[in-house]
Amino acid sequence: MPYIDAQMVEDIAIGAAFLGTGGGGDPYVGKLMALQAIEKYGPVELLDVEQIPDDAQIVPAAMMGAPTVLVEKIPSGEEVFRAFNMLKEYLGKEIYATIPIEAGGVNSMIPIAVAATQQLPLIDADGMGRAFPELQMVTYHLYGISATPMVIADEKGNTILLNTIDNFWTENLARNATVVMGGSVMIAIYPMTGKDVKKAGIRNIVTYSAEIGKAIRLARQNDQNPVAALIKVTGGYPLFKGKIGDVIRRTTGGFVRGQAIIAGIDEFRGSKLELHFQNENLIAIQDGKVAATVPDLICTVDAETAIPITTEGLRYGQRVVVVGIPCDEKWRTPKGIETVGPRYFGYDVDYIPVEKRVKEVR
């Protein structure tokens, strides 16, 4: 059975940051936590979904809040373990394994650190196949799984246990608590069974993240085009290539919101792309035409290195490639579109799959 070692952590950090579509937090801090935990406790066993007993207790762990805050408000490293252990105590049963809540920089690293420290396996699945900004925006929610009981912990030592009537209340209450607690917290959430994971999880996301990171790493080591390698391994669509001319970004309500204006270069010279985000990239508009929207993945990478750029890392003058990737089919259901489609975020456009959008724009 596979184990996650230090090299795989490095690859997952890059691949998951790419799949995070600009959100999920910068992987650096989380990667340090994961590497330190693996160095101290040993590699983490990676479980295929089918290896999980149906009645096993599974608990995800993650960071919640604005990624811009996490850059400056460095976690103590203990809060995620306090949240995890408090939820374990409340549930009154042994936790069989942990699982990422999403594919994103820091939120793919934290579960590895938790798994190593708690001596638990990590399940090769998540609840998004990408990153989304709100707690109910997971496939677990689509299948009726409750986000609570949930525990929130901050670096000061505060912990909050939430039990709510539905997942929208969970988001509202937890988001307000996060703002009061400084804008970023660690959480243990969506306790579920192995049967739930088999039904609702997006499978093989950890392995997929590692494959993406490895493809980029090997291309750079062998003086090959890392962006081409990225496109090949993901089957993505190069939506745009350009230079960032302006970034409007603000942290409000526990989110990073804003937009980036990108002026086309090379084959896109003379065109302009607007990239709107709320933690994650939500919609890409090229010359007034929608090029891609959520729930499909809109990912920004450095044009030379293919290293993913999070929304808090967007800077004037960066040369970037914007890549579109079809989302998991669970998000293309009516409930999926209702939960995370462009209209939920206030955009007056219908969801059209990125593979069709690309043909329309070009």
Summarize pLDDT for 93-124 with one digit per residue, the tens. 999 999 999 998 889 999 999 999 999 999 99
The CA–CA distances, whole Å, from 292 to 50, 61, 202, 270, 359 equal 33, 30, 21, 19, 11
CA distance 195 to 312: 36
List the structure tokens of 111.
């579960």
Residue 253 has pLDDT above 90, yes or no: no
Q: Which residues contact 16 (CB under 8 A, 6 or more apart)?
A: 24, 27, 100, 103, 104, 105, 107, 108, 109, 209, 213
Q: What is the mean pLDDT of the chain?
A: 95
Q: Spelled out in words, what is the top-level CATH class assigned to the domain 233-361?
A: mainly beta
The CA-based dihedral angle spanning residues 257, 203, 16, 143, taken in that order and rounded to the nearest 10 degrees = 20
At residue 61, what is the residue type?
A
At residue 85, what is the residue type?
N
The reported pLDDT for the residue numbered 29 is 83
| pLDDT tier for residue 26 given thresholds of 50, 70 and 90 | confident
Q: Are 236 and 180 in contact (CB under 8 A)?
A: no
Handedness of CA 185, 191, 196, 197 (dihedral sign): positive
CA distance 193 to 145: 10
- Segment 238-244 shows an average pLDDT of 98
The reported pLDDT for the residue numbered 172 is 97
pLDDT for 126-177, tens place per residue? 999 999 999 999 999 999 999 999 999 999 999 999 999 999 999 999 999 9
Residue 1 has pLDDT above 70, yes or no: no
| Residue 308: CB atoms within 10 Å | 30
- Segment 333-337 shows an average pLDDT of 98
Q: What percent of the chain has pLDDT over 90?
A: 88
Closest CA to 75 of 116, 104, 33: 33
Residue 28 has pLDDT above 90, yes or no: no
Domain borders along the chain are: 3-205, 233-361
3-state secondary structure of 138: coil
Q: What percent of the chain has pLDDT over 70?
A: 99
Residue 296 has pLDDT above 80, yes or no: yes
Q: Are 17 and 27 in contact (CB under 8 A)?
A: yes
The reported pLDDT for the residue numbered 48 is 98
The reported pLDDT for the residue numbered 30 is 86
The reported pLDDT for the residue numbered 333 is 98
Q: Spelled out in words, what is the top-level CATH class assigned to the domain 3-205?
A: alpha beta
Cα angle for residues 161, 162, 164 (degrees, 5° grid): 165
- Segment 281-295 shows an average pLDDT of 97
Residue 246 has pLDDT above 90, yes or no: yes
CA distance 80 to 76: 9
The reported pLDDT for the residue numbered 53 is 98
Burial of 342 (0-12, 13-18, 19+ CB in 10 A): buried
The reported pLDDT for the residue numbered 186 is 95
Cα angle for residues 270, 275, 279 (degrees, 5° grid): 160
3-state secondary structure of 156: coil
pLDDT for 29-43, tens place per residue? 889 999 999 999 999
CA distance 340 to 326: 14
| Residue 58: CB atoms within 10 Å | 22
Burial of 104 (0-12, 13-18, 19+ CB in 10 A): buried
Least confidently predicted of 20-29, 64-73, 98-107, 341-350: 64-73
| pLDDT tier for residue 23 given thresholds of 50, 70 and 90 | confident
CA distance 160 to 181: 11
pTM over 0.85: yes
pLDDT for 42-72, tens place per residue? 999 999 999 999 999 999 999 998 777 776 7
Burial of 351 (0-12, 13-18, 19+ CB in 10 A): buried
Closest CA to 296 of 358, 215, 204, 249: 358
The reported pLDDT for the residue numbered 362 is 66
